[in-house]
């Protein structure tokens, strides 16, 4: 049996074009340039075809375009990061389908693809702006559905009315579902998905990695992406020079790179003795997705609480699994430059250096050892060395063989990891246990919502060395060369550098020196997003406490039963309300007839209009009972029939006025007569 393909109404085609355009906007940051250009051209061409200003694309050209786009999509997907290739596939596939959309079945395919693409967009971005865009996309999808199933209804209406009416209907549907959405959001327990999606969100390019080599941390200055946000108890953050955010320690060195510690044994540690109470801070961290497990703590942490967290003896903290979503945890720290341990285990790990290489550096340290210099004196020698002619730069020269020699005796210019790596190497050559620490230094205080914002360009590396009787002591060689890097805002110092935030073309930070209001606008917008992350996306923890208070610690099955029962009742009532027979589903003229029928039925049940009865036959019965209505009934009947059989494309405005006048005249007469008898 041959399928009958229902053609799309004109207004439905317009809404489908708008729907695909809105859906694609959320994926623009993940799309390659060619895909964006192709999408814009396709949308413009489809709109012109609907307006009959150009002819539809030919079958031969359609197949040629499809072949080129498929090849380009495959190439882009292979080179894309994470699921970014999925965005290209969804958007370009929808655009190709839009080129051949002619029937309602084609429209359904586009609607389903848009629903899926809208959901996928939240894998990349979950800000309040993305949520608003998702809501707009849902409204437009509903408008397309309403238009696809409303053939004759809009043909008789002006262009503007045909667009406004689907918008009203879709908005009304969403408003009706709002109470149910709120109930589910507030009380329904969060259950993990039945599937798993490993998505790194480009974190390999913008986050710290498991190893550090000269130039690696410096590349993070090209990104202004947010690393994490911190809110402090009492809204009192530590001074800028004390904002060392510890993420990892690196103890293995192969001559070029430093690698992370591969152990996480928990040992007893003692907080710095004699610390003042004002040096203790309690805070909450909201870490951005990074595809890495390590977390960020203010040096030095004393307590960490959160779901599935490990605290190591080296004062670093890791999550059980990589952060694929925002992760919230609480911690307390004592701000200090050292923490005490009774003894140093694995001492050989912290003094190991590769055999051979860097002869100049080895000779220099050998001279210090021959002079029997103490730890503090060796550090003073390193300070004098760096303070002599070295400079701090975001674009250091490339180092080749014998990197430490090349840096210390040739280029003498570098970023924080250059100074930290050289310092730790010289300390180990001198027999002093040392290791690198990777994390962030600094943070921008947002007074609009009272939290600290730490970005990728504030990534930092420093050194810790061991001293018997004192434990691990922080040593930041960057402060020897550029103390302003520690004491001042990073973006204020290097905002004019060409490498600063170079990967963020739309970064507002680069323009704040020229226009101060840009910085104020940026902080206000981030404060709104912070509140969104904390109270909406991070509602899970608040919900657990809320349900625990409401239900008094019931078990999970009881909790689900107590939630499912009222939700089921609510759904049943809602379905009954929507599925019951209502005059609302009749058109306006049919409702007028039903209104007259109910009025007359109150006086005599025989005057109730029968289901199979036309208006002409019904009025004949009414006039037989009320002869006084014989003078006004024909006018109403004539206007009704003319409106019902009005040719397509004809305007109904003048005739509608005639109909309204005739109907009201008849209704008032019927009401007056029924009241007398």
Catalytic residue annotation = 416, 460, 476
Spatial separation of the C-alpha atoms in residues 120 and 546, rounded to whole Å: 30
Query: What dihedral do alpha carbons 295, 203, 328, 87 form, nearest 10°?
Result: -160
Spatial separation of the C-alpha atoms in residues 386 and 397, rounded to whole Å: 17
Spatial separation of the C-alpha atoms in residues 211 and 421, rounded to whole Å: 12
**Cβ distance 423 to 475 under 8 Å?**
yes
DSSP letters for 508-521: SGGGTTT-HHHHHH
DSSP alpha helix (H) spans, 452-515: 478-481, 484-487, 490-494
Query: What is the phi/psi pair of residue 449, to 5°?
Result: -135, 5
Query: What is the phi/psi pair of residue 301, to 5°?
Result: -75, 145
Selection from 548, 567, 442 nearest residue 179 by Cα:
567
**Cβ distance 130 to 36 under 8 Å?**
no
User: First and final CA of the chain: distance in angstroms?
Assistant: 60
Spatial separation of the C-alpha atoms in residues 96 and 616, rounded to whole Å: 51
Angle at 509 between CA 508 and CA 514, to 5 degrees: 90
Peptide bond into 300 cis (omega under 30): yes
**How far, in whole angstroms, is CA 516 from its chain's centroid?**
27
Query: What dihedral do alpha carbons 99, 100, 102, 108 form, nearest 10°?
Result: -90
- Residue ranges of E strands in 158-271: 211-212, 226-232, 244-253, 258-260
**Cβ distance 314 to 436 under 8 Å?**
no
Query: What is the phi/psi pair of residue 285, to 5°?
Result: -115, 135
Query: What is the phi/psi pair of residue 447, to 5°?
Result: -75, -15
Pairing of strands 459-467, 451-455: unpaired
DSSP alpha helix (H) spans, 392-515: 403-405, 416-429, 478-481, 484-487, 490-494
Q: What is the DSSP letter of 340?
A: B
Tokens of 394: 């975001």
**Neighbouring-strand partners of residue 319:** 309
Pairing of strands 391-392, 413-414: parallel
Residue 177 burial (10 A CB sphere; 0-12, 13-18, 19+) = exposed
DSSP alpha helix (H) spans, 51-127: 59-79, 84-99, 104-121
Q: Is 463 helix (H, G, I), strand (E, B) or coil?
A: strand
**Cβ distance 221 to 394 under 8 Å?**
yes
Q: For residue 100, how many C-alpha atoms fall within 13 Å in the half-sphere facing its CB? A: 15
**Cβ distance 218 to 417 under 8 Å?**
yes
The CA distances from residue 12 to 50, 92, 110, 146, 276, in Å, are 10, 21, 12, 8, 69
The CA distances from residue 669 to 64, 81, 661, in Å, are 69, 74, 12
Task: Return the residue matching tokens 């430490």.
Answer: 404
């Amino acid at each position: 049996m041959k399928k009958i393909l229902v053609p799309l109404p004109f207004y439905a085609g317009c809404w489908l074009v708008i729907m695909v355009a809105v859906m694609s906007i959320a994926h623009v940051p993940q799309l390659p340039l060619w895909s964006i250009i192709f999408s814009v051209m396709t949308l413009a061409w489809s709109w012109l075809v609907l307006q009959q200003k150009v002819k539809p694309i030919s079958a031969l050209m359609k197949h040629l375009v499809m072949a080129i786009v498929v090849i380009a999509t495959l190439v882009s997907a292979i080179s894309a990061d994470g699921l970014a290739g999925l965005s290209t596939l969804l958007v370009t596939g929808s655009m190709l389908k839009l080129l051949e959309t002619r029937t309602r079945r084609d429209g359904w395919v586009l609607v389903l693809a848009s629903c899926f693409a809208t959901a996928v967009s939240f894998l990349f971005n979950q800000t309040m702006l993305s949520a608003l865009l998702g809501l707009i996309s849902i409204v437009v999808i509903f408008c397309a559905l309403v238009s696809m199933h409303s053939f004759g209804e809009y043909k008789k209406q002006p262009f503007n009315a045909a667009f406004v009416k689907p918008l009203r209907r879709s908005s009304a549907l969403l408003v009706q579902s709002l109470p149910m959405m709120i109930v589910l959001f507030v009380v329904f327990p969060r259950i993990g998905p039945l599937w798993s999606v490993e998505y790194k969100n480009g974190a390999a390019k913008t986050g710290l990695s498991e190893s550090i080599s000269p130039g690696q941390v410096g590349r993070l200055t090209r990104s202004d992406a947010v690393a994490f946000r911190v809110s402090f108890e009492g809204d009192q953050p530590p001074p800028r020079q004390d904002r060392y955010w510890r993420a990892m320690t690196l103890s293995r060195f192969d001559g070029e790179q430093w690698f992370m510690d591969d152990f996480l044994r928990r040992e007893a540690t003692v907080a710095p003795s004699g610390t003042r109470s004002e040096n203790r801070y309690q805070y909450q961290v909201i870490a951005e997705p990074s595809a890495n497990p390590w977390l960020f703590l203010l040096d030095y942490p004393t307590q960490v609480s959160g779901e599935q967290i490990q605290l190591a003896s080296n004062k670093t903290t890791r999550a059980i699994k990589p952060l694929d979503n925002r992760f919230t945890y609480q911690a307390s720290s004592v701000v200090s430059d050292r923490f005490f341990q009774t003894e140093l285990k694995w001492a050989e790990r912290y003094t190991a250096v590769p055999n051979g290489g860097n002869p100049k550096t080895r000779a220099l340290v050998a001279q210090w050892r021959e002079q029997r210099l103490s730890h503090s004196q060796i550090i003073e020698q390193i300070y004098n060395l760096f303070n002599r002619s070295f400079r701090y730069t975001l674009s250091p020269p490339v180092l080749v063989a014998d990197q430490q020699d090349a840096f210390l005796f040739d280029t003498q210019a570098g970023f924080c990891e250059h100074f930290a790596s050289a310092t730790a190497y010289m300390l180990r050559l001198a027999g002093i246990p040392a290791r690198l620490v990777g994390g962030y230094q600094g943070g921008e205080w947002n007074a609009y919502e009272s939290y600290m914002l730490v970005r990728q360009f504030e990534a930092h590396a420093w050194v810790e060395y061991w001293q018997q009787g004192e434990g691990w002591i922080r040593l930041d060689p960057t402060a020897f060369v550029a103390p302003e890097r520690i004491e001042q805002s990073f973006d204020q110092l290097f905002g004019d550098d060409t490498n600063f935030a170079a990967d963020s073309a739309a970064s507002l930070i680069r323009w704040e020196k020229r226009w101060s209001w840009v910085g104020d606008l940026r902080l206000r917008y981030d404060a709104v997003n912070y509140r969104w992350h904390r109270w909406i996306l991070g509602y899970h923890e608040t919900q657990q406490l809320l349900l625990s208070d409401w239900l008094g610690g019931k078990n999970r099955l009881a909790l689900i039963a107590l939630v499912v029962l009222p939700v089921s009742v609510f759904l049943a009532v809602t379905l009954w309300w929507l599925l019951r027979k209502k005059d609302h589903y009749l058109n306006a003229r049919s409702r007028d007839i039903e209104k007259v029928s109910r009025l007359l039925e109150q006086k005599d049940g025989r005057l109730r209009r029968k289901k199979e009865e036309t208006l002409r036959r019904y009025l004949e019965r009414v006039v037989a009972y009320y002869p006084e209505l014989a003078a006004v009934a024909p006018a109403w009947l004539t206007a009704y029939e003319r409106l019902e059989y009005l040719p397509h494309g004809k305007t109904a405005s003048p005739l509608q006025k005639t109909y309204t006048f005739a109907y009201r005249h008849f209704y008032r007469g019927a009401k007056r007569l029924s009241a007398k008898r």
